[in-house]
Amino acid sequence: MIRLAIVWHHHQPCYLDLRRGEAVMPWVRLHGTKDYYGMAAILREFPGVRAHFNLVPGLLRQVDAAVKGAADPWLRLARVPAAELRPEEKQTLCETFFMAHEDNLIRANARYGELFRRARHPAGGGRWRPEALAAADYRDLQVWQNLAWFHPLLRESHPTVRTLVDQGRHFSEADKEACLAAQREVLADLVPRHRAMQDAGQAELTTTPYWHPILPLLCRMESARVAMPAVALPKAPALDMTDDARAQLRRAVVAHRAAFGRDPRGLWPSEGSVSPEILPVLSEAGIRWFATDEGVLESSLGSDFRRGAAGAPQNADLLYGSWRVAEGLSAVFRDHALSDLVGFEYKRADAEEAAEDLMDRIRAGGRAAGDGALVTIALDGENAWEHYPGNGVPFLRAFYRRLQEDGEIRTVLLGDELAERPPTRALDRLWSGSWIHRNFAIWVGHPEDNAAWELLGKTRQTLLEATSAAGQDPRGAPAPPARGAGEAAVPDLPLAWDSLLAAEGSDWFWWFGDDHFTPLAGTFDALFRAHLQNVHAFLGRPAPPELLRPIKGRAAPAPAWSAPWALLDVKVDGRRSDYYEWISAGHYSAAKDLDVMDRSTGWIRDVWFGFDRRRLLLRVDCEGPARDGLLTRCVKVVFETPEGKSVSIGSDGQAEGLGATAAAGEILELAVPLRDLDVLPGEIVEFYVEAASGPASQRVPARMPIAIRVPADEDERVRWIV
């Protein structure tokens, strides 16, 4: 008999801004109605098949937030009545609402594909034609961007979803709201659905440290040198984070018990990352077994698991079994090749042929290992399926059907299996590494990774000092609820620690460095720094300037503003006095910040900037007259270079600081003498504009300051952008 353990790992990073109570990206919502629902629903069709679902607590928390109405920029854009969309919102819709698999999610749906072809610029290059779509088209796009992410089984079983898919086009605003309501309904059922499968004995639910950190790096940063002796490590205080590792695990166990009624027995360490130092931490948390990658076992034993022609690994008896790694703690090691076939390769094959090939390989490996072999397949349970035809349903059905009917292979749940048949072999030396190249190179060593760790360490040092002064350490308590949108931002030590622990998540470091690419790398960078900024905010302190500067270098987005091209001749009177007054100014549109900005606080629409011979000149265009908006807002211009300087504009439109003058009427105009700013020709000025109304604030630009160079005396018609 060959025993087979299947582990599906479900995870998303902390997209929630824990201070604002809103998400920055929509992937929890969208994967929730597709993969988190669908993977459980398909398994239920085959009651004779058992599997594990590894549900990261930070993911479950974000699902709950979405059910309770936490917004994200895409959701806000979807809710704007199509007839009221502004030009910049139409542009953003085109840029983001087609961010899905072109063949399997867009073109597979006729109307979605039609909108894609019409909106995409014929010259390509990532350009779009917003003017090609009418209001009715945009409404259909708002619906289809959400509808396409409903799992195929929901299209068959959910009345609202089935009706909308059948209708296909000419949606109304009521149809749109019905689609979004169905989305929340499905998300609300995810935890009860998984708990029912657990209670029925078909699924074992396992966990991961709360915000998905790389535990070995928290417990001992030097563990990276085991596989990479020459690696450059970050240099910062407070990077001995074993107590945080304990908190991440303790909070995971508490959250898991609250959701599913029992403690987790098993753990998928984030990215399969393990080291000897994490073993006592796992045992303290009550974990009984964990799974990681075969490469870790291969390096631990000094063995060789190369595959032969039939696909069976050498030394199969060592790989296909369990190991005792500490008293009461067992480990299993996934078959890397089989897991990668499912994750990356079978998507190109016929579903029946792929399922049969997988069964053959499991049999070959199990037979090579001998009677009682325990084969483990473990992989990401969400991102592979949009690359499969039918979201993977034909393949998974073919695979599960064969497993249910097979007499030689039996699926098992590891908690039961290892309790019934404890490991008889002890692993004397556990390698320090992950499932990727059996090292930690993705998360530490690159200058960007190290810079991020150093910012985290400095922030953590500040937080440790505040914790010591308070005489209490909230890390021992369950994770606190995120701040609700619009709630007053008062000092809160538990949420400061929650934000710090969220910044320890693996995903931020995944996108730093040059290992991986995403067009959203700048957003991940900004969100990582936002978590650290929130630590300071929850302590009632301003964030240090270094947390406002992007970490990403080569992959960072190019400056999104246009440059001034000549000296200005501006009268500071709060009026659009003359068409030519600001014609040569640089310009930044706040619409570019829609992906990170709360639309309800988007008072600033445009910032114009430039110089005359003696002054830096700024103009702020607003929603409504500037003089009216200033009655309920505090506006500041904050300079990062020169550091520590700022100008405030009061409710009367007058400026305070740096000898500045201002006027507020239809627009806000401001002049800052270069002498008082203490900058010389050729030097760089970096600044942003901030408008705060109660607890809600808007910073423009949201991610990085505008950077321009002070013109030299001979400059007249030049581009001073940095």
DSSP, residue by residue, 511-553: HSSSS---TTHHHHHHHHHHHHHHHHHHTT-PPPGGGGS----
Q: How far apart are CA 461 and CA 64, in angstroms?
A: 31
**pLDDT recorded at residue 721:** 40
- For 135, other C-beta atoms within 10 Å of its C-beta total 13
**DSSP helix/strand/coil, 569:** coil
Q: How far apart are CA 234 and CA 460, in angstroms?
A: 14
**Amino acid type, 312:** A
Contacts of 122 (CB under 8 A, 6+ apart): none
**What is the count of structural domains for the chain?**
4
**pLDDT recorded at residue 125:** 59
**pLDDT recorded at residue 712:** 77
Q: Are residues 124 and 183 in the same domain?
A: yes
Q: Would you say 540 and 491 are in contact if contact means Cβ atoms under 8 Å apart?
A: yes
Q: How far apart are CA 77 and CA 68, in angstroms?
A: 18
Q: Are residues 367 and 461 in the same domain?
A: no
Range of the domain at 147: 17-190
**pLDDT recorded at residue 556:** 39
Q: Are residues 467 and 592 in the same domain?
A: no
Q: Of 124, 157, 190, which one is at a domain's C-terminal end? A: 190
Q: Give, in order, the Cα–Cα distances in Å from 606 to each of 110, 561, 684.
A: 38, 10, 22
Distance of CA 479 to the CA centre of its chain: 19
In a domain, 722, yes or no: no
In a domain, 437, yes or no: no
Q: How far apart are CA 121 and CA 127, in angstroms?
A: 5
- For 562, other C-beta atoms within 10 Å of its C-beta total 15
Q: Would you say 29 and 75 are in contact if contact means Cβ atoms under 8 Å apart?
A: yes
Q: What is the dihedral of CA 588, 609, 654, 597, to 10 degrees?
A: 10
* 54: nearest Cα among 212, 274, 208: 208
**pLDDT recorded at residue 592:** 64
Q: Are residues 136 and 153 in the same domain?
A: yes
* 151: nearest Cα among 37, 67, 238: 37
Q: Would you say 483 and 248 are in contact if contact means Cβ atoms under 8 Å apart?
A: no
**pLDDT recorded at residue 624:** 87
Q: How far apart are CA 514 and CA 333, in angstroms?
A: 28
Q: How far apart are CA 539 and CA 71, in angstroms?
A: 25
Residues with pLDDT less than 50, the chain: 554-559, 594-601, 695, 714-722
Map 597-611 to HEC letters.
CCHHHCCEEEEEEEE
Q: DSSP code of 26?
A: -
In a domain, 562, yes or no: no
Q: Are residues 272 and 364 in the same domain?
A: yes
Q: Are residues 96 and 217 in the same domain?
A: no
Q: How far apart are CA 117 and CA 132, in angstroms?
A: 10
Q: How far apart are CA 48 and CA 602, in angstroms?
A: 54
**pLDDT recorded at residue 603:** 84
Q: Are residues 200 and 168 in the same domain?
A: no
In a domain, 355, yes or no: yes
* 537: nearest Cα among 494, 498, 490: 490
Q: How far apart are CA 338 and CA 56, in angstroms?
A: 23
Q: Would you say 74 and 92 are in contact if contact means Cβ atoms under 8 Å apart?
A: no
**DSSP helix/strand/coil, 669:** strand
In a domain, 441, yes or no: no
Q: How far apart are CA 293 and CA 333, in angstroms?
A: 5
Strands 696-700 and 203-206 turn out to be unpaired
Q: How far apart are CA 85 and CA 93, in angstroms?
A: 10
Q: How far apart are the first and last CA of the chain?
A: 67
In a domain, 493, yes or no: yes
**Residue 362 corresponds to which tokens in the numbers above?**
């499991």
Q: Are residues 141 and 202 in the same domain?
A: no
β-sheet with 668-673: strand ranges across: 586-589, 604-611, 615-622, 668-673, 661-664
Contacts of 176 (CB under 8 A, 6+ apart): 78, 79, 139, 142, 143
**Amino acid type, 158:** H
Tell me the residue ranges of DSSP E strands in 11-125.
Answer: 16-17, 22-23, 51-55
The CATH number that applies at residue 674 is: 2.60.40
Residues in the chain: 722
* 496: nearest Cα among 469, 518, 464: 464
Contacts of 529 (CB under 8 A, 6+ apart): 455, 547, 548, 550, 551
Give me the long-range contacts of 632-635 (CB less than 8 A, separation at least 24): 632/693, 633/603, 633/691, 633/692, 633/693, 634/691, 634/692, 634/693, 635/668, 635/689, 635/690, 635/691, 635/692
HSE-CB of 214 using CA atoms within 13 angstroms: 29
Question: What is the crossing angle of helices 173-188 and 159-167, to 10°?
Answer: 140
Q: How far apart are CA 150 and CA 166, in angstroms?
A: 13
**Residue 673 corresponds to which tokens in the numbers above?**
């003498």
**pLDDT recorded at residue 488:** 53
**pLDDT recorded at residue 563:** 82
Q: How far apart are CA 320 and CA 417, in angstroms?
A: 14
* 382: nearest Cα among 24, 39, 13, 14: 39
Q: CA Rg, the chain, in Å?
A: 28
Q: How far apart are CA 117 and CA 138, in angstroms?
A: 14
pLDDT digits (tens, 9 = 90+) for 257-296: 999 999 999 999 999 999 999 999 999 999 999 999 999 9
Q: How far apart are CA 215 and CA 272, in angstroms?
A: 10
Q: Would you say 237 and 457 are in contact if contact means Cβ atoms under 8 Å apart?
A: yes
Q: Of 190, 206, 227, which one is at a domain's C-terminal end? A: 190
**pLDDT recorded at residue 694:** 52
Q: How far apart are CA 509 and CA 441, in angstroms?
A: 10
Q: Are residues 116 and 218 in the same domain?
A: no
In a domain, 432, yes or no: no
Q: How far apart are CA 694 and CA 489, in angstroms?
A: 9
**Residue carrying structure tokens 């799974």:** 291
Q: How far apart are CA 445 and CA 42, in angstroms?
A: 41
Q: Are residues 179 and 198 in the same domain?
A: no
Q: What is the dihedral of CA 162, 163, 165, 169, to 10 degrees?
A: -170
In a domain, 574, yes or no: no
Tell me the residue ranges of DSSP E strands in 22-181.
Answer: 22-23, 51-55
**DSSP helix/strand/coil, 695:** coil
Q: How far apart are CA 270 and CA 550, in angstroms?
A: 25
Q: How far apart are CA 410 and CA 403, in angstroms?
A: 7
Q: DSSP code of 430?
A: -
Q: Would you say 155 and 165 are in contact if contact means Cβ atoms under 8 Å apart?
A: yes
**DSSP helix/strand/coil, 712:** coil
Tell me the residue ranges of DSSP E strands in 143-250.
Answer: 203-206
Q: Are residues 166 and 233 in the same domain?
A: no
Q: Are residues 140 and 199 in the same domain?
A: no
